[in-house]
Structure 1
Amino acid sequence: MNLLSTRGIWGGSETWSIDEALGLSLASDLAMLAAGELFDAAWYLEANPDIAATGLEPATHFARHGWREGRRPNLYFDTAWYLRQNPDVARIGINPVLHYMSAGEAEGRAPAAHFDLAWYAQRHQPDPGLTFLAHFLRRRRTGTVSPLPEFDPDFYLTRYHDVAAAGVDPFEHYLLTGYKEGRDPSAEFDSRFYLRRYLDVDATQNPLLHYRQHRHAVRLHPRQPASEVDVFQEVRRFSRPGPDFEEVAPLPRTAQRRAKVLAYYLPQFHAVPENDAWWGRGFTEWTATARGMPRFAGHYQPRIPRDLGHYTLGGPAADTATMHRQVAMARDAGLFGFVQYFYWFNGRRLLERPLEAYLADASLDFPFCLMWANENWTRRWDGSDHEVLISQDYDAADDPALIDTFARHFRDPRYIRIGGRPLLMVYRAREIPDTRATVARWRRLFARRHGENPVLVMSQSFDAIDPRDWGFDGAIEFPPHKLGTGLQRRNAELTYFDPGADGHVFSYDDIVAASLAEEPPAFPLIKTAVPSWDNDARRQGAGLVLHGSTPAKYQAWMEALVERARAHPLMGERFVCVNAWNEWAEGAYLEPDVHFGAAYLNATARAVTRTGPDEATAKLLLVGHDAFPAGAQQLLLRLARQLQRVSGVHVEYLLLGDGKLAPDYAATAPGAMIADPARQQAQLAALIASWAGRGFTAAIVNTAAAAWIVPQLRAAGIAATLLVHEMPRLIREKNLLEGARVGAEAAERIVFPSAFVRDRFAELIPFPPARADVMPQGVYRMAAFSAKARRRRRAKLGIGRGTTLVLGAGYADLRKGFDLFLQAWRAARRRRADVMFCWIGDIDPLLRTYLGHEIKAAEATGSFRFAGFQDETASWFSAADAFALTSREDPFPSVVLEALAAGLPTVAFKGSGGIPDMLREHRCGSVVAMADAAAMARALLRVAGDTRAARGRARLAALARTHFAFDRYADALLRTAHPGIVPISVAVPSYNYAGYLEQRLTSVFAQTYPVTEVLLLDDASTDASVAVARRMAEDWKRDMAVHVNSANSGSVFHQWRRAAELAHGDYIWIAEADDDADPALLANLAALLSSMPDIELAFCDSRAIDGDGQPLWPSYRAYYAESGAPALAQDGIFPARDFARQFLSERNLILNASAVVWKREALLAALDRCGDELAGFRVAGDWRIYIELMHASTGHVAYVATPLNAHRRHDASVTHALHGAAHVDEIARMHKVIRARLDPDPATLARQATYLRSVSRQFELDAAA
């Protein structure tokens, strides 16, 4: 019908039209309104109650009168607004709704100010024959569509649970009442801010509509711009955890410390009379710390302690307890000792109580030394001599007492010594009158009165730099002293809140650069890092600030100083210092605070051990939608534990909601929780940026409920693997559709537990099939059948041996089909009396309300038990005879796999999820028609008979171990998230090497590359090897399979074979128990292995150490050159047969097998071909295997020239204990093998003969000697 040809020839007349005159309009208008689905009769009546008196149907009233009166057909078509916006329509008197349907939408005319047609049309396709507006109206209550780009329905429903529970249209709620209640339409629109800034807190105006109306006329901000910060916001920001926040992460006690880290320790945490008099009663460091305030944007103040609180030092038991916690924290962070400040003024001591308490408590087992703070005590905190409160006079008469006091501390066994000499530090050398002569006098007093010769070290402060000028043995840095000299102040770059602030602000980066740019001096120096420095709390805007510190920057500085200390030790000791442990009022501390937590403490640990996330080659972020104790959340938690404990992966987590499992996550790995993502978008973005900045490139997102985060991860450079456990009905019910859609689009891979779940998801949200993987989740609780547990549980239930026990489990709600479980119980009882049904798990409160009486009646029969939540479930599975999965919709529940592990068959409903297909494929249960409780009962009684025979249960349990092992599932997920990872097993063969196992296992557990597993194979040791190994695994919180022979095998190659057979990785590193390795050994070799799949063996150069671990040679490069193999001076990949000819024909140039990573199948094949021949080799057996592997290989050998392996050469090893003739004989035998396998040329044969003669002569010389 052409409206324009038949409507309103009298222009805007509301009283007459041609169609009306002819009686043709009304019927066609009503038909068109009905077909277009734009008239909402119920809404019209509710919005216009007066029309009830007219006696007209709502649609008739609207068509005849309503549109002319400006009434709306629905909330989203504004009749009056449409006519005002389109005067041409108003002029010709057309019903605006009909115009919109027939022409207006196609012409781009919006139906209302609050419906952005152009934007909506870009995101959706209209239903056939309908408008975009109708498309919206059909879906407006689903939470998946929005009429405006500034309104986020997912945010609104997630943020406001009452709206979600009501099931209403979220935008309608906001439009009518939500804005009046101060609710936000999206995470990017802050209603309260907008009202304060632009509407003078006038809540009668809708801030979102005001913004859309005026945003193009003037610049409006929907939320406070990031550049507009004030002091209150900064205090709030710094008084809560930030994006770099970390919980305390103790190092394993056996982690190798690459240097001795000291930290300055302040005692001023107890009131003393002097401070009471000078600063006010009760003054401590906390008094000053509390005054810290942000003076400019980004200024980190206030500093608030966390784990240790506002502690007190210097008292009896309680204060010593604090010291114990400090010592434990410091030791666990890799620190070696404290530098305790010592205050002495002409025979008078100050602030001595903490130090005296430390001396008195011998259980504070942590080294210390003294730093004499020998400057005058003044009213200034910068060392200047204004208003001296107590002076240092250096009277020679006081010297004996001073020396005696120092010596009393030296006698403590915890006191730090260098080469037997106590280490004593002095803060300001130049303050000592006639310094060189005075220091010499003190040395004589130390020697004469106490027989001591202390190592005297001065701090580099106040222009005293070279210790030789002052008679000291060495120096120690005291940043920011010295390092700030000549640096540019950054004050002009800052946005100040305090116009009176005139302190000095330097860039932390500039300070670090100055420290590292300094050339090593000609005198002994201990380099010092400062985590941060800000004495605003003392100086109130007039102090010195090092701005821009982060834990990562501090860690990098510390790592560089550790390397400097190793290259330039102080009198043989590798010392690095930190300023400070607890200088809170100076902003210089390692103790945890509320904003960074223990991040600086953990950074110290990582720096000194060269371990942790920054070194890890495969970091992984695990993202969960919340911490509710349900299946998917438990799975993610177990995955974190598995990857850390078994593979050594550095895992961190992000939870997008709270829950009971939050403490378990926090105890398992570092991470963060965003309790309210809708209101914490800025914090979430900062966290993601932090992870990306720290090298996280992969994430696993555990559910479709968390899928909305995937695009944000991708934008930050973090590729996400999305796990989808949900079925379509749940996705719709929980308003997850839009989040799942964008997540699936942005995910690198999408993992489903079954093909059924994949196919149903694809019907809902199409995606490229090539990006999908099907991985049934493994059983993380592999509870094996126990006859003893079965008897006990059945006895508690009061059932005999002949009674069939059917088990159900999970959160009892309609989705889990608990009502059908009850029905199945009734049907089973009608067939047999000797049957009991039990359900373990909580119940939905609403369902309990409806079914409570039925449950009680069932339990009264004695054949039904609702057991509720159970901490221990294994005994229930052992006690049962069959498992009932009564779920109406359940993707691939782990509880069925747990039942399978205990040998239980399962009965499930057809079409409920992925389990029915699994039951059919593996013949481990039965499938019945959906919701047919009677068929369920019959099938349960039938399959239960199969479990009565032990063989039936054993077959099902074996299925679980074979197909659903959790370690394989976790490993597969890891390699999906990090597709370049090479699966490497580590095997440590050991025999009576308890003295070396600690160092060897430390080197294994500290590898930066993830491994498939760690195996220890003990060849019947008679020492404490096994106990040491187990203690080490516990210390490092790692899982390690320990295999102990009952009798010694007599050959290390038996252990090699066993290791290769036990291992699951494609590659294997056989790390002999007495050798050592750099943490990057596997990472370097794996990089080559992943580059060329046909590499069958990769190895690196080695450094040589003696039996005590002392260095012998830095590498074997010189030996390679002497042996005619200069090519091994650099990395290379060689055809295997060519490598054998070039580097193994004359002598074995793979000098230590611990440097090798083997392709496991190639190693096993070589061992098979060598057979019993290996038993006759004591020295050259590895050489024999190399030749056997390479001579027939079409693959390659890879070599890394960096000495990443440490080869221990024992003075009395098997090699040296052999009779020379036997050694020579093995070489001769190897030459014979090489001639047979490689057909060497005449030149090689000549070199063989020359080498054999050389070795023979050497043994003759050794024997003669």
Structure 2
Amino acid sequence: MASLKALVGRSLRKVYHALPLSWAMRLKLKQLIFRGFAPVLSGTHAYRRWDQQVSDGSVAELAAIAATDDPAPLSVAAPAAPLRAKLALISHDANPHGAQYLALNLVRELQRMHQDVEVLMQNGGLLEPEFEAIAPLHRLYQMDQAELRAFAVRLREQGVQAVIANTTVPGLVIAPFREAGLRVVSLIHELPGIIAKYGLGQALLDLVDASDRVVISSEAVRKGVDGLVPPEALAGKLILRPQGLFTRSRYRGLDDLSEPRANLRRKLGVSEQAVVVLAVGFGDLRKGLDLLARAAAIAYRSEPNLHVVWVGNHEDEVKQDVDRMLEEAGIASRFHFVGLDFDTDDYYAGADVYALPSREDPFPSVVLESLSVGTPVVAFEGTGGGADLVADRAGLTVRAFDVDAYAQALLRICRDGELRARYARAGRDMVDTEYSFRRYAQDLLELCEVPAPRVSAIVPNYNYAHYLPHRLATLSAQTLPLTEILVLDDASSDDSVAVVQAHRGSYHPEPMIVRNERNSGSVFRQWLAGARRATGEFVWIAEADDEARPEMVESLVGALRADTSLVMAYCQSEAIDADGVVIAADYTGYTDDLSRDRWRSAYTATGAEEAIAGLAIKNTVPNVSAAVFRREALLRVLSEHEDEIVSYRVAGDWIVYLRLLALGRIHFEPRALNRHRRHTSSVTAALDLQRHYDEVVAAQALAARLYPLKEETSVAASNYAAHLREHFGLA
């Protein structure tokens, strides 16, 4: 019956979205569907959500709008779903391996994003105390079937709305959670070999059947799943999404890695000239411990300074066979088994090359860890997502299990400095741009039907090293978690880059540093560079010396989400001096000559309305840090009008706002959630006064061309220009 309900629900949803109806007619159709099919749909997630909307009055509000039978205006939207939810994550055990570390770090990341997460543990392990230290932990292995069913129902009653099943193993226990009405998002990492070895074929089928979405980490996993699960069972469920990098190396972003290189060689007790090959993981046949040992014996013949280090525990029988092999080759002292070591920064950053000798590996995190610090990787072709990731981009792959070719590939990277540097740059850039763990967590939230608005914070910086730590802290503290923080350093002459590098590990998400070798000549070029690089739907240009209240972004993005006609939303600003002392509680003193009421309450306006009210007279958005933009619109304006905008020194931001509001509306939040730092020797104060005046007049002229202004607005603009001319002593 549950599968029939799911089928009916999916079919009706497809029809509903396919019909060319107005917004109001869609609402009426939805009312008819849920009333007419209530007996069939009553157990589905969609029906429960509709029933909740009915009970809290949301549907009544929308029905009043729908009664007009007209499409809803762009400024009206259904109430936004809450940004915080209660979730549960199932981990098959707590042993210190890749999938379990992914689960542990996913719980941490979701909690940093203000989600309420509970951990359901199928079996124990060494990491169990770490899970229990950060989240409520429930030991499923201590429950019988009746207790498990009752527990699943209790979770649902307590408000848990979705379960994330990490790996295939939760397929053994997933049915009660689905029956309790919880949404299920499964993360399948295993390749066919592991599924066969542990007899997980039926667990895979059961997990897929119970899942609303099935997330796989690589094409290799997709092919494996396709061969084990009927296509119809996967229809509409399968999503390819590799996990991002969840570890943080203190050496990430550094070009000079002499410190970890020296540390690693000192730790191993080898010479500073030693060539070090690294492998990390559980040493067994699947991970290719024996294959690496054979390749090392071959490579040592032509590279006597070669040392191999294996970090992690091992399977005793495999280790014994490898020990005999190493003794026979005379390289036992060159192959270092260091055991489990949780501080791996020096290993990854200090090695010359990372060896991934696995026979089968879906998407090993160790590859991302290596590439993030510029260590190239060598792998066997066709063995999983790690090999696919590095091939011809950030390392070398060779024919599967050809240990001679593997040895030569290791040596090639170690000996060819230019090749190694090229792979290092490519690997770092790949991880920085494609493998964000924050974006991965946001993707999973959306699959759990928890909204995760994507906001990119762009931090243009030039010589503000002193302010950067606190500025980045205010970004990290936002109640709406940011998708990314992009620090765009415009060739600072102070130690800005070093300051960000030293502190980046303490912020969430971890800031990415984009450094210009030469100054761009205009902060607005940095705005454009940031908008191009950003991945979020919304962009916050957070100037490096300003500050923000924790709720600022959530407030402004809430307005943007509720009204798709908005292209920007901004708030009132508090003015502070160089030391953070409040100069003014707000900017109403600056706008009172335009209106004593307008900027004291919230409003939404068209571009023309905003221009008439003041933006055609002077720049009524005194600080860009107080605004959040819809990225697509901002990028369009910055791209299409780049030459015009960068020609301004003072009024470039004003030009951006005028151009932007020709594309959509603006919203104002009267609370002073932004803190604008004003320096006594600011750019504006130091500029040639004639140029300042000329730019104001040019911006007013642009406003007059873009918008149909009232006569009183034009007169006010002329009066303001005359006032400036007199104030600057240009009359």
Q: TM-score, normalised by structure 2?
A: 0.68
Find the counterpart in structure 1 of residue 119 from structure 2. Answer: 654
2:617 touches 2:716 (CA, 8 Å); kept in 1?
no
| 1:715–1:1225 Cα change, 3 Å | farther
Q: Which has the larger radius of gyration?
A: 1
- What code does the residue aligned with 1:963 have? M
Post-superposition offset of 1:1230: 1.8
In structure 1, the gaps of 5 or more residues are: 1-118, 123-613
The answer as to 2:189 corresponding to 1:725 is yes
The answer as to 2:569 corresponding to 1:1099 is yes
Q: Indicate which of 710, 716, 729 corresponds to 1:1250.
A: 716
Post-superposition offset of 1:1247: 2.3
- What code does the residue aligned with 2:417 have? A
Name the CA distance, whole Å, in 1 between partners of 2:211 and 2:301.
Answer: 51
Q: 3-state DSSP class of the match of 2:214? A: strand
Post-superposition offset of 1:947: 3.3
Q: 3-state DSSP class of the match of 2:478? A: coil
Q: 1034-1043 vs 1004-1013, which deviates more?
A: 1034-1043
The answer as to 2:634 corresponding to 1:1197 is no
Q: 3-state DSSP class of the match of 1:629? A: coil
Q: Indicate which of 312, 328, 333 corresponds to 1:841.
A: 312
Q: Indicate which of 647, 658, 665 corresponds to 1:1173.
A: 647
- What code does the residue aligned with 2:379 have? V
1:1224 touches 1:1255 (CA, 8 Å); kept in 2?
yes
Deviation digits for residues 429-465 of structure 1 (CA, Å, limit 9, x no counterpart)? xxxxxxxxxxxxxxxxxxxxxxxxxxxxxxxxxxxxx
1:628 touches 1:660 (CA, 8 Å); kept in 2?
yes
Q: 895-904 vs 936-945, which deviates more?
A: 895-904
Post-superposition offset of 1:761: 1.4
Deviation digits for residues 1049-1102 of structure 1 (CA, Å, limit 9, x no counterpart)? 99865775676577554532124577665544323433454567785x311442
The answer as to 2:405 corresponding to 1:938 is yes
Find the counterpart in structure 2 of residue 77 from structure 1. Answer: none
Name the CA distance, whole Å, in 2 between partners of 1:1068 and 1:688.
Answer: 41
Query: How do residues 739-754 of structure 1 correspond to structure 2 at under 5 angstroms?
Result: 739-754=203-218
Query: How do residues 74-113 of structure 1 correspond to structure 2 at under 5 angstroms?
Result: none
Name the CA distance, whole Å, in 1 between partners of 2:519 and 2:646.
Answer: 17
Q: 3-state DSSP class of the match of 1:978? A: helix
Name the CA distance, whole Å, in 2 between partners of 1:671 and 1:788.
Answer: 39
2:602 touches 2:668 (CA, 8 Å); kept in 1?
yes
Q: Indicate which of 653, 656, 662 corresponds to 1:1182.
A: 653
Deviation digits for residues 35-70 of structure 1 (CA, Å, limit 9, x no counterpart)? xxxxxxxxxxxxxxxxxxxxxxxxxxxxxxxxxxxx
- What code does the residue aligned with 2:642 have? D
Post-superposition offset of 1:819: 3.9
1:720 touches 1:977 (CA, 8 Å); kept in 2?
no
| 1:743–1:906 Cα change, 3 Å | same
Deviation digits for residues 1189-1219 of structure 1 (CA, Å, limit 9, x no counterpart)? 445xxx4234255646356697989699799
Name the CA distance, whole Å, in 1 between partners of 2:493 and 2:418.
Answer: 40
Name the CA distance, whole Å, in 2 between partners of 1:1214 and 1:807.
Answer: 51
What is the alpha-carbon root mean square deviation over aligned residues? 5.5
Find the counterpart in structure 1 of residue 700 from structure 2. Answer: 1231
Name the CA distance, whole Å, in 2 between partners of 1:884 and 1:1022.
Answer: 39
Name the CA distance, whole Å, in 2 between partners of 1:1185 and 1:1151.
Answer: 13
Name the CA distance, whole Å, in 2 between partners of 1:692 and 1:1228.
Answer: 63
Find the counterpart in structure 2 of residue 68 from structure 1. Answer: none
Query: How do residues 927-966 of structure 1 correspond to structure 2 at under 5 angstroms?
Result: 927-929=398-400, 932=401, 935-965=402-432
Post-superposition offset of 1:755: 0.9
2:358 touches 2:379 (CA, 8 Å); kept in 1?
no
Deviation digits for residues 922-979 of structure 1 (CA, Å, limit 9, x no counterpart)? 48323334xx5xx322332255224311111122223322333487341332332233
Deviation digits for residues 743-787 of structure 1 (CA, Å, limit 9, x no counterpart)? 323333322221111121122223335422223344446677946
Post-superposition offset of 1:616: 5.8
The answer as to 2:201 corresponding to 1:734 is no
Deviation digits for residues 989-1040 of structure 1 (CA, Å, limit 9, x no counterpart)? 6899999999976754442212023456799999999999999989887745
Query: How many aligned residue pairs are there?
Result: 631
Query: How do residues 591-610 of structure 1 correspond to structure 2 at under 5 angstroms?
Result: none
Q: 3-state DSSP class of the match of 1:676? A: helix
- What code does the residue aligned with 1:1229 have? A
Query: How do residues 622-661 of structure 1 correspond to structure 2 at under 5 angstroms?
Result: 622-640=89-107, 648-650=113-115, 652-656=117-121, 657-661=123-127
| 1:1029–1:946 Cα change, 3 Å | closer
| 1:869–1:907 Cα change, 3 Å | same
1:787 touches 1:878 (CA, 8 Å); kept in 2?
no
Q: 810-819 vs 1206-1215, which deviates more?
A: 1206-1215
| 1:715–1:998 Cα change, 3 Å | farther
Name the CA distance, whole Å, in 2 between partners of 1:1262 and 1:831.
Answer: 76
Name the CA distance, whole Å, in 2 between partners of 1:825 and 1:1034.
Answer: 35
The answer as to 2:281 corresponding to 1:813 is no
- What code does the residue aligned with 1:1153 have? V
Find the counterpart in structure 2 of residue 1012 from structure 1. Answer: 483
Find the counterpart in structure 2 of residue 186 from structure 1. Answer: none
Q: 3-state DSSP class of the match of 1:1009? A: coil
The answer as to 2:227 corresponding to 1:763 is yes
Q: TM-score, normalised by structure 1?
A: 0.42
| 1:900–1:1228 Cα change, 3 Å | closer
User: What percentage of aligned pairs have identical amino acids?
Assistant: 28
1:704 touches 1:723 (CA, 8 Å); kept in 2?
yes
Query: How do residues 371-390 of structure 1 correspond to structure 2 at under 5 angstroms?
Result: none
Deviation digits for residues 288-346 of structure 1 (CA, Å, limit 9, x no counterpart)? xxxxxxxxxxxxxxxxxxxxxxxxxxxxxxxxxxxxxxxxxxxxxxxxxxxxxxxxxxx
| 1:833–1:1211 Cα change, 3 Å | closer
Query: How do residues 118-157 of structure 1 correspond to structure 2 at under 5 angstroms?
Result: none
Name the CA distance, whole Å, in 2 between partners of 1:1047 and 1:1098.
Answer: 31
Name the CA distance, whole Å, in 2 between partners of 1:887 and 1:1063.
Answer: 35
1:1227 touches 1:1252 (CA, 8 Å); kept in 2?
no
Name the CA distance, whole Å, in 1 between partners of 2:267 and 2:506.
Answer: 39
Post-superposition offset of 1:725: 1.1
Q: 3-state DSSP class of the match of 1:1165? A: helix
1:1060 touches 1:1068 (CA, 8 Å); kept in 2?
yes
Name the CA distance, whole Å, in 2 between partners of 1:838 and 1:1064.
Answer: 38
1:1224 touches 1:1252 (CA, 8 Å); kept in 2?
no
2:525 touches 2:646 (CA, 8 Å); kept in 1?
no
Find the counterpart in structure 1 of residue 454 from structure 2. Answer: 983
Name the CA distance, whole Å, in 1 between partners of 2:271 and 2:499.
Answer: 47
Q: 3-state DSSP class of the match of 1:952? A: helix
Post-superposition offset of 1:1149: 4.2
Deviation digits for residues 624-663 of structure 1 (CA, Å, limit 9, x no counterpart)? 3232111112233344555666xx5546351414322234
In structure 2, the gaps of 5 or more residues are: 5-80
2:504 touches 2:510 (CA, 8 Å); kept in 1?
yes
| 1:1124–1:1148 Cα change, 3 Å | farther
Q: 3-state DSSP class of the match of 1:701? A: strand
Deviation digits for residues 577-616 of structure 1 (CA, Å, limit 9, x no counterpart)? xxxxxxxxxxxxxxxxxxxxxxxxxxxxxxxxxxxxx996
| 1:1118–1:652 Cα change, 3 Å | same
Name the CA distance, whole Å, in 1 between partners of 2:414 and 2:506.
Answer: 42
Q: Indicate which of 366, 377, 399 corresponds to 1:895.
A: 366
The answer as to 2:141 corresponding to 1:676 is yes
Post-superposition offset of 1:840: 3.5
Find the counterpart in structure 1 of residue 8 from structure 2. Answer: none
Query: How do residues 202-351 of structure 1 correspond to structure 2 at under 5 angstroms?
Result: none
| 1:941–1:1034 Cα change, 3 Å | closer
